[in-house]
Chains A and B, each alone.
Chain A
């Protein structure tokens, strides 16, 4: 195998791992945001948020 193969493989492996990491972090964030939005929509809010609303 030529040196180009090892260089290409190194950059490909790094890119795959980094893209998976970015994708996983982003999808995790999106799922948590959706869960929080669903809970808020069903009237379940954090106590601190409720206290702020009551004070207002």
Chain B
């Protein structure tokens, strides 16, 4: 596909054709950066010493914490896109929040599963209905609901507007997840990295955690760009099929 790549300002990306051209150029670099970051992150994760209390189980944190951050960041990206849908009626904003929902669901599933696998040896239980775990579980259900809603409606622009309203209403859950450990008594420990007084976690564990967090974030943006590109193609296929059906109707009509 030889599509022009003349992007002089950010709003130029509103054009799906320009977005496709940009995606074709940057995706190989994003994928390469993701692989490299994961290689470094995993190497650091398995070469650091274990924690004096948790032992080697601290290594679960290097996948659990980035996945949990991503589950919230993905929803925030969807909320910003939802504003784009409702305020500017931006086609790419519709595409963005539709493409992000399955990714958010997957990262939330990883956060829930790895949290549970950490909880069993550390807390002695797979699951408790405390505020943090419950609010993240609600986030997972919200992602599934949004995926189902998008698939249930035939008209993509109508589905996008309804989804956008639901996304913005559901955004109230994000600060609840973040501050649940401060507002209520929870078994889940309070924040130890993103907090007002700076990280309380030891440098030895902080670096692998940060590299893995950047790797997960890069993976998210790579997959999100790919999924947005797929969604634009899907809409083009649907539009071209409609056009073909109309043309076929004209030909049949003129022959009659």
Contact = CB atoms under 8 A, between A and B. Distances in A.
B240 A17 contact: no
Contact of B234 (A7, A32, A39): A32
Interface residues of B, number: 36
Interface string A28-56: 11001101100100101111100000000
Interface in B235-251: 236-237, 239-241, 243-244, 247
Given A3-B55, A4-B56, A14-B110, A39 B117 contact: no
A46 B236 contact: yes
B233 A14 contact: no
Contact of B117 (A13, A28, A29): A13
10 contacts: A3-B121, A6-B121, A7-B60, A21-B103, A21-B223, A22-B223, A24-B102, A36-B240, A44-B240, A44-B244
Contacts, number: 88
A41 to B, nearest CB: 12
Given A3-B55, A25-B223, A46-B236, A39 B60 contact: no
Contacts of B103: 21
Interface residues of A, number: 31
A10 B63 contact: yes
A13 B106 CA distance: 11
Interface of A: 1, 3-4, 6-7, 9-11, 13-14, 17-18, 20-22, 24-26, 28-29, 32-33, 35-36, 39, 42, 44-48
Interface core residue of A21, A29, A44 (most chain B CB under 10 Å): A21
B57 A7 contact: yes
Given A10-B60, A10-B64, A11-B63, A39 B120 contact: no
A43 to B, nearest CB: 9
B240 A46 contact: yes
Given A17-B110, A18-B219, A46-B239, A32 B117 contact: no
B55 A14 contact: no
Contacts of B64: 10
A10 B243 contact: no
B19 interface: no
Contact of A13 (B113, B226, B234): B113
A21 to B, nearest CB: 5
Contacts of A42: 244
Interface string B51-87: 0000111011001100100000000000000000000
B118 interface: yes
B57 A3 contact: yes
Interface core residue of B55, B63, B102, B117 (most chain A CB under 10 Å): B117
